[in-house]
Amino acid sequence: MGMLAPDLYYSSVTEIDLAMLSGSGVRHLLMDLDNTLMPRDRSDVPGEVREWLDALPGLGMDACLVSNNWHAHVQGVADLIGLPIVAKALKPFPSAFRRGLAALGATPRDAAVVGDQIFTDVLGGNILGMTTVLVKPQSSSDLPHTLLLRRAERLVLAGREPLA
């Protein structure tokens, strides 16, 4: 599956082995928001996700949100958790990820994309040669076109289980 295959696959962001990523040279995370950090259409960030994000600086890491969402709530969440954001990103187009990289002073070699969608997050990260980390969606509620793509994602992931 090449460009659609994530390097790593986890059940949630809080299960991602940050020490392992840091040890492999990843210093910057380009994070999706909806259904990755928190369930879609929610404004409250779960406590365990906040703790996970708070651990980044101690590992020499930082993060930027990269979201296709354009509603005001994404900027509000970014402000709440203190992260820069690229909204209206148009993932998987490389320009979205390049803007996130620029916001962090990062290069594709020292960055990873973390998201819940193969056809936006993983594909976009792989196009630029970044480490790609797929997480299971945090909610079954989604937009109609995303639900359609979830069917194709099941084929790409056939037989693959999350690491944790």
SS3 10: strand
Handedness of CA 23, 104, 136, 117 (dihedral sign): negative
Global pTM value:
0.89
SS3 113: strand
In a domain, 162, yes or no: no
Domain that holds residue 7: 2-156
SS3 61: coil
In this prediction, residue 72 carries a pLDDT of 76
In this prediction, residue 134 carries a pLDDT of 96
Contact 125, 112 (CB under 8 A): yes
- Which residue's entry shows tokens 């993983």? 122
In a domain, 161, yes or no: no
Rounded CA-CA distance 14/50 in Å is 9
In this prediction, residue 85 carries a pLDDT of 96
The domain tally of the chain equals: 1
* pLDDT less than 70: residues of the chain: 1, 41, 139-152
In this prediction, residue 49 carries a pLDDT of 94
CATH number of the domain that residue 77 is part of: 3.40.50.1000
